[in-house]
Structure 1
């Protein structure tokens, strides 16, 4: 590796538990923090490498060949900083298990592009996919017509998950009767996945189907994998409590494929606390803008026009992979710039032809109680869904039209939040970025108006008691 400086460090027993990346770069006199890579080695060694430029810039485009599952059930989604392939497992042929997986990251970190890659891989590899795109179909629009099932509302997602659980139960009964203790692809059933994008909308506090969604996803993770029915969720959660409030659900994800893109501080604290990242391990931060140097400018010094053009979309850590603390990046999925319609590059990755499998019959999983409620509401009126004959969920608020005060009240649960968690929730709600100072000003004003309680020494921000 020409022009790469490498330092092998002797570390205390157990390795480095914490380190300050900015201080390390200052010590090495490197202004571009993204050029310095720290990696804990085996035993009592760590490695620091200084690259002439960030090694994860300029990654190549994703190809269809990358996304065909290999003999070990893996696809190649990108590269680590040292050029090693970054792989994501969809099937474990040794155990016959489908996977349960999660993709976490803040807005604009690259979750939807990674979900697109997984969806393409499933179609290319003959895997049946049932997809819930809970951003009203906008997150992965090219998936339309390329998955067996595609739903865009929370209630439809519940029906889809019920259908997946029912299929897993059917397979368990059939396999038990024939004496099969494991799953073999195509003998007779195909490998199948339920994928929920923007899962935080379904699982966050106050969501109308939160409890049932958490239970269904948990059941799929617990029993579906052994019969070839896997589950993958992608979420903007700034805090793991937003994922249905289920300890079992979070524990389930630890044994699957967990990808962390650019994160919030509260999310990182929980990942460590819940054991998804070894306690004490440090991850090098993923900046929003790569290569941006924070330095004092001299008088009349010109700022380069393209200084803030290089973003970090797709940079990640594969927390449950063999290198959980090594930074990687996905290959480029689709066009770099937004397109006015379906992205032709992504459509080309999917390829022509119908997707494998048949759609879930959503109507078959409507309960008697829901049918009765739909009948009382009248078919096709403003309280019902004429297409499915079931009550329509409450429309979700348009965060882009809400004031900061309204957004604070929308994300604030009954038991309150610490300031750091409130900031993380606002960062993940899909609205514009709000500065800490602005949030504090709004909190002060809302306390003055009696909308928020006065500080009580707990450090939590809570709603004022109702009159």
Structure 2
């Protein structure tokens, strides 16, 4: 049987043969930054996604020009990919040259669980990437406690396939408190046993707390920001050594948007950090946060692969109806041995939407019951006499209707504009009309224009063009 790694390599060799290859000798220390558009212009290539630049060790670099981007088509993920190997890794995709892209789920040498974060803008493929991880956990007997903070819509197929499944910010906090308590209990129990580390399935299972849309929990203005950052930090510090890991999937472009904790920053520098398509301002933030070495450069991941930049003569009709985002899943594994090599996740699920659960994703999970037992969510006791009690109360997941609900934080103008544009480009007048009907506070045209200008500088909204429409970057 042909292995998944061989299939990926065969795909590159047979369908994406290198058209041109240039081996470069660079100045000492390598190339610390370059203009990709200028390089494409020099090579007379009008589709930037066809040109791949990679800095090697020392003073060597390579530029490869392909007929089409070698990651434009990717095979479907297989059950064999999801099986954890002897190094505690699963195969999640392929680098542009066919080398398998792996994610470490367990470190057999230390026994540690991992700390994983997946960054990316809207539509970059975070949810599908997370589905692969969740399915792999179930297939390998790893217990998962999931908070899907998009109301359960981000990874809907996970419901019934994980031990714990929650959907609100309040429930996510109850889950984090329960996970930290479980980690502390294991820590104390292992100390009494004279054990210094975690042994998988002896007697405890490997477990993961997964927070999807973690930016909603940790961003400025969240009522749980400080406590959530502290709990995640504690899981990253104590939990991993007792077999309880943490996974965050977020749209944040800066760690300050994920709690701003120095300990959290250090935790992620040592974990598995995967960056999908990003905004134009994220590069400096990654360097500043220490997730990308100073001077390193990542080739941009375009929203649309294969789109050539050509000047059209006045009055020449241009048909762009077939153009649509097609780079979902393209990424960089920043903490791997190849942090600046472009890669892509295997195809996960069906290409076309379904009226209900995606059958291909459900097949990845399998029909067996998920391993482990649901956590009993922990919530703070109600206030009595103006002061909190020192006692800890525990509530079952099914008791959510009895819990005190906190009001949702009002959306900012930035969030409202980005939400309005998620369904497609709008004129300024149509955008104002949409904002008037979204239930938020009334906004003035001048305020909207200022916010749009700021979003353009951040790369979240595309520059002005002849159409006059406002569109996501």
**TM class by shorter-chain length?**
0.7 to 0.9
State yes or no: 1:265 paired with 2:280. Answer: yes
Q: Could you say which residue in structure 1 is the equivalent of 2:206? A: 191
Residues 276/294 of structure 1: CA separation in 2 closer, same or farther (3 Å cut): same
Q: Could you say which residue in structure 1 is the equivalent of 2:375? A: 360
Q: Could you say which residue in structure 2 is the equivalent of 1:118? A: 133
State yes or no: 1:216 paired with 2:246. Answer: no
Residues 408/81 of structure 1: CA separation in 2 closer, same or farther (3 Å cut): farther
Residue 182 of structure 1 and its aligned partner are, at CA, apart by: 1.0
Conserved in 2, the CA contact under 8 Å of 1:35 and 1:53?
A: yes
Conserved in 2, the CA contact under 8 Å of 1:21 and 1:284?
A: yes
State yes or no: 1:134 paired with 2:149. Answer: yes
| 2:282 match: secondary structure | helix
State yes or no: 1:25 paired with 2:40. Answer: yes
Q: 2:243 aligns with which of 188, 204, 228?
A: 228
Conserved in 2, the CA contact under 8 Å of 1:154 and 1:202?
A: yes
Distance in 1 (alpha carbons) for counterparts of 2:335 and 2:197: 23
Conserved in 2, the CA contact under 8 Å of 1:371 and 1:389?
A: no
Residue 253 of structure 1 and its aligned partner are, at CA, apart by: 0.4
Q: 1:204 aligns with which of 204, 219, 223?
A: 219
Q: Could you say which residue in structure 2 is the equivalent of 1:387? A: 400
Distance in 2 (alpha carbons) for counterparts of 1:138 and 1:165: 26
Conserved in 1, the CA contact under 8 Å of 2:90 and 2:103?
A: yes
Residues 40/372 of structure 1: CA separation in 2 closer, same or farther (3 Å cut): farther
Conserved in 2, the CA contact under 8 Å of 1:106 and 1:261?
A: yes
Residues 344/27 of structure 1: CA separation in 2 closer, same or farther (3 Å cut): same
State yes or no: 1:64 paired with 2:79. Answer: yes
Gaps of 5+ in 1: 376-384, 428-432, 443-467
Distance in 2 (alpha carbons) for counterparts of 1:397 and 1:41: 47
Say how many residue pairs are matched: 415
Distance in 2 (alpha carbons) for counterparts of 1:406 and 1:292: 39
Q: Could you say which residue in structure 2 is the equivalent of 1:291? A: 306
Q: Could you say which residue in structure 2 is the equivalent of 1:324? A: 339
State yes or no: 1:281 paired with 2:296. Answer: yes
Residue 369 of structure 1 and its aligned partner are, at CA, apart by: 3.4
Distance in 1 (alpha carbons) for counterparts of 2:253 and 2:299: 18
Residues 122/199 of structure 1: CA separation in 2 closer, same or farther (3 Å cut): same
Conserved in 2, the CA contact under 8 Å of 1:240 and 1:267?
A: no
Distance in 1 (alpha carbons) for counterparts of 2:62 and 2:319: 33
Q: Could you say which residue in structure 1 is the equivalent of 2:184? A: 169
Residue 110 of structure 1 and its aligned partner are, at CA, apart by: 0.3
Residue 266 of structure 1 and its aligned partner are, at CA, apart by: 2.6
Q: 1:38 aligns with which of 31, 53, 56?
A: 53
Distance in 2 (alpha carbons) for counterparts of 1:393 and 1:144: 24
How does the TM-score come out when normalised to structure 2? 0.82
| 2:308 match: secondary structure | coil
Residue 240 of structure 1 and its aligned partner are, at CA, apart by: 2.2
Residue 328 of structure 1 and its aligned partner are, at CA, apart by: 0.3
Q: Could you say which residue in structure 2 is the equivalent of 1:106? A: 121
State yes or no: 1:97 paired with 2:112. Answer: yes
| 1:184 match: secondary structure | coil
Conserved in 1, the CA contact under 8 Å of 2:156 and 2:357?
A: yes
Residue 68 of structure 1 and its aligned partner are, at CA, apart by: 1.5
Residues 176/5 of structure 1: CA separation in 2 closer, same or farther (3 Å cut): same
Residues 250/402 of structure 1: CA separation in 2 closer, same or farther (3 Å cut): farther
Conserved in 1, the CA contact under 8 Å of 2:178 and 2:375?
A: yes
| 2:313 match: secondary structure | coil
How does the TM-score come out when normalised to structure 1? 0.83
Residues 131/290 of structure 1: CA separation in 2 closer, same or farther (3 Å cut): same
Gaps of 5+ in 2: 1-12, 389-397, 420-433
Distance in 1 (alpha carbons) for counterparts of 2:326 and 2:254: 24
Residues 25/307 of structure 1: CA separation in 2 closer, same or farther (3 Å cut): farther
State yes or no: 1:369 paired with 2:372. Answer: no
Q: Which string of whole-angstrom CA distances, capped at 9 and with x for unpartnered residues, describes residues 261-288 of structure 1?
A: 0111232211111211110111100011
